[in-house]
Amino acid sequence: MKPTVTQLMPSGEPLSDADFRAVYDFLNLESDCLGLGEYETWYGLLTSQICYKVLAPAFLDATRPRRYGRENAYFDDDYASLGIRVKQLTTPGFTIAENPATISRHFVTNIRAAKNYDGIEVVSNVLVVRVRSTEPEPGVVSARRFDRLVETPEGLRIESRLAQLDQVSLQQLNLSFFI
Amino acid sequence: MNSFNRQGNSVGPWVDVEAGTASRAIFTDEEIWRVEQEKVFAKSWLFLAHETEIPEPGDHVTRQLGNDPVLVVRGEDGRIRAFHNSCVHRGVKLCRTDAGHSKNFTCPYHGWIYGLDGKLQATAYPPEVAEKIGESKSSLIEMAQVDSYAGLVFGTWDETAPALDDYLGDSRFYIDLFANRTQGGMEVLGPPQRWVFKANWKLGALNFAADGPHAASVHGPITYLTLQVPPELILQQLINSPAVVIGKGHNCIFLEYPDEAPDYAGFSPDLVPLYQQKLNAAQQRFLARGLTKVMTNFPNTSWVESSVTFDDKTPPIPFCNLRTWQPLSAQSTEVWNWLLVEKEAAEEFKQKSYEIGIRTFAAGGTFDQDDAEAWAAINLGCRGSIGSQYEVDFRATKHYRDQPIENFPGPGVAYPSTFSEMSEFALLAHWQKVMSGGES
Ligand code: FES
Ligand SMILES: [Fe+2]
């Protein structure tokens, strides 16, 4: 039998090589936009229906986990609110946290994708390395991402993203970037 | 160079109230931080949890107070207790989850079992050995006093500390505006977010005590992007809004709506009648006219509430933020950040308030991102052997200190401008008193 990873695999039909290549290229383009601070271009890669969430993890008892309240989200954003964040980040002088800009790099790996009725489900891992003017030691943020991409006349676009961050206590003074 | 003498001295004085200055060393010096742990943090009432985080007997959450792990538990009797979260055998961190529910706590090392009341229940050692260990008499190290106000659970390590009500004093008038304004009270919207910045905890506490001027320079642009309020207007409101020295080290500022705005402009109309039932007339005035209120309860519990929108189609929605500044070291602080909402609020409103809260004051908050940057930069400016010998400046207080607002409608002494820096500096003045053993 073929070994499978059942947990949180994208559901749907496998992609053709050409389709997978398109997804792969798209994620690389997107992560370069983020890493290079080209946020307006990045914003153009989202659909206006975008649901963008970044969640914090928790350490819970294996046999008896207890959660309370809502999910613990660092981001729970839509197209309008992401637009404001993008304006804040891209308008000169609008955020001291990004002036001078953080030097950062996004690495995307472990990509799996499948096609279904809603679009293309993609799971990936992402590692962000950040070097800031106020903190010479590089900071690291990693996450597992669940994306839904849709095909539009302009090419692939992101309709939803859920990123599950890996640090319970962020060793970062802020999250003035996207993941 | 300043006049503060650091030679072999860690209790100060580091704050010169008359001159309106303080030594930069209070933000960077590890020895001052160590003394502060004893004089301030071991003696004060510290915020632990909101009651709604542990609603049922057996529910617990774990916290960090400075570098000390703390376990907050609701017992079978419904009472909330707080323990140093370490096994009395060899000091192992006992409960290593963030939140949970259990009948007891089993140490991961040799399996000693503690009840929800902290008492050692069993060791699995032979009876003769157990007797020597004092099995029947042992219990976890317990915080000396734990008490609640308006669902807010505080604890202190000091058995001689005054009662919580006494400690919070007049700040309860203002706490009510954040967290005690409807019959049902508030609930947490989720577990606390945590993040670390490389700067002293007092920078956060002072900023929320609160620093008016930075709100124009640092948050002017994002305020403009979200609320479409021009920076000049924000600046004017900050200059004309009061800073309140509440007393006992608690301090706040109110950014008021311009006169033409209606009452309760930023609030949900459904909840306003509930506020009117619960709050007294003076408190209602504050809530109705306040656009933003920011407060620090001494030493390290802070509040901010405002109304914001991230969408030009929806009116501003309020969020209520509560946080602590945990002193990890002189130059490193962990923020613990909660969002609260009225229990009576509609589910849809709760979700909206939550979204606004995390987009403004939280790890991914558009306001927080710039605050932490400023504090990290203060640390870089003050930590060197030359830089730390100089002062930080609160001389604006000299202009305002003799101009308290007469007949201010709330408790404390209020000054006519958040640019007075009076409330912010009063926190430092109180800190100095506590450091010198004068008051706690
Ligand atoms: S250290 Fe806890 S049982 Fe030994
Ligand atoms: Fe601020």
SS (H, E, C) A99-115: CCCCEEEEEEEEEEEEE
Closest by Cβ to B226, choosing from A84, A97, A169 = A84
- B433 exposed, middle or buried (CB, 10 Å; 0-12, 13-18, 19+)? middle
Q: Is a pLDDT exceeding 90 seen at residue B6?
A: no
Nearest Cα residue in chain A from B221:
A94
pLDDT value, residue A6: 53
Task: Sort out which chain A residues have CB atoms less than 8 A from B337's CB and list them.
Answer: none
Q: Where are the beta strands (DSSP E) in B313-403?
A: 317-329, 332-342, 391-393
Domains in chain B, ordered, with CATH? 46-160 (2.102.10.10), 169-435 (3.90.380.10)
- What is the rounded CA–CA span in Å between residue B193 and residue B148? 22
- Cβ distance A96 to B351 less than 8 Å, yes or no, reads no
pLDDT value, residue B345: 97
- Cβ distance A173 to B373 less than 8 Å, yes or no, reads yes
- B17 exposed, middle or buried (CB, 10 Å; 0-12, 13-18, 19+)? middle
**Section B59-67 average pLDDT:** 97
Ligand nearest to the CA of B140: 1
Nearest Cα residue in chain B from A73:
B358
Tokens 């207080």 belong to residue:
B397
Which of B425, B426, B405 has its CA nearest to residue B415?
B405
Q: Is a pLDDT exceeding 60 seen at residue A1?
A: no
**Section A167-172 average pLDDT:** 94
Instruction: For A4-19, write each residue's pLDDT tens digit.
Output: 555 567 888 999 999 9
Q: Is a pLDDT exceeding 90 seen at residue B169?
A: yes
Q: Is a pLDDT exceeding 60 seen at residue B137?
A: yes
What are the structural domain ranges in chain A? 43-165
**In whole numbers, what is the pLDDT of chain B averaged over residues?**
95
Task: Sort out which chain A residues have CB atoms less than 8 A from B312's CB and list them.
Answer: 80
Q: Which residues of A touch B (CB under 8 A)?
A: 54, 56, 58-61, 64-78, 80-81, 84-85, 87-88, 91, 93-97, 134-135, 168-176
Residue B92 CA, ligand 1 centroid: distance in Å? 6
Instruction: Provide the pairing of β-strand A169-170 with A13-14.
Output: unpaired
Instruction: For A61-91, write each residue's pLDDT tens digit.
Output: 999 999 999 989 999 999 999 999 999 999 9
User: Tokens at residue B62, please?
Assistant: 């774990």
- Cβ distance A67 to B99 less than 8 Å, yes or no, reads yes
Task: Confirm if B431 and B249 have CB atoms less than 8 A apart.
Answer: yes
> Could you tell me the maximum CA-CA distance found in chain B, to the nearest angstrom?
78
Query: pTM of the entire structure?
Result: 0.96
Chain B: nearest CA to A122, how far in angstroms? 24
User: Tokens at residue B52, please?
Assistant: 């709604």
Residue B143 CA, ligand 1 centroid: distance in Å? 20
> Could you tell me the maximum CA-CA distance found in chain A, to the nearest angstrom?
58
DSSP at B316: -
Pocket of ligand 1 (CB under 6 A): B 87, 89-90, 92, 107, 109-112
Which of B314, B313, B298 has its CA nearest to residue B431?
B298
Q: How many CB pairs under 8 A join A and B?
A: 150
Residue from B54, B72, B193 whose CB has the most chain A CBs within 10 Å, to mutate: B193
Q: For ligand 1, atom 1, which residue shows the shortest CA distance?
A: B90
Q: Is a pLDDT exceeding 60 seen at residue A54?
A: yes
- Cβ distance A168 to B194 less than 8 Å, yes or no, reads yes
Q: Is a pLDDT exceeding 90 seen at residue B382?
A: yes
- Using alpha carbons only, give the angle B283, B153, B434 rounded to the nearest 5 degrees: 85
The SS3 assignment for B131 reads helix
Task: Sort out which chain A residues have CB atoms less than 8 A from B100's CB and list them.
Answer: 60-61, 64-66
Task: Sort out which chain B residues have CB atoms less than 8 A from A172's CB and list them.
Answer: 195-196, 363
Q: B6 vs B327, which has greater pLDDT?
A: B327
DSSP at B139: B
| Complex ipTM value | 0.94
Per the DSSP assignment, residues forming a β-bridge with B73 are B60, B81
Nearest Cα residue in chain B from A170:
B195
The pLDDT-based confidence of B440 (bands split at 50, 70, 90) is: low
Task: Sort out which chain A residues have CB atoms less than 8 A from B226's CB and list them.
Answer: 84
Looking at CATH, the fold of the domain delimited by A43-165 is given as: Nuclear Transport Factor 2; Chain: A, (3.10.450)
SS (H, E, C) A52-73: EEEECCCCECCCCCCCCCCCCE
Q: For ligand 1, atom 3, which residue shows the shortest CA distance?
A: B110
Instruction: For B290-348, write each residue's pLDDT tens digit.
Output: 999 999 999 999 999 999 999 988 899 999 999 999 999 999 999 999 999 999 999 99
Residue from B359, B361, B382 whose CB has the most chain A CBs within 10 Å, to mutate: B359
pLDDT value, residue A134: 86
- What is the rounded CA–CA span in Å between residue A153 and residue A82? 23
Q: Is a pLDDT exceeding 80 seen at residue B405?
A: yes
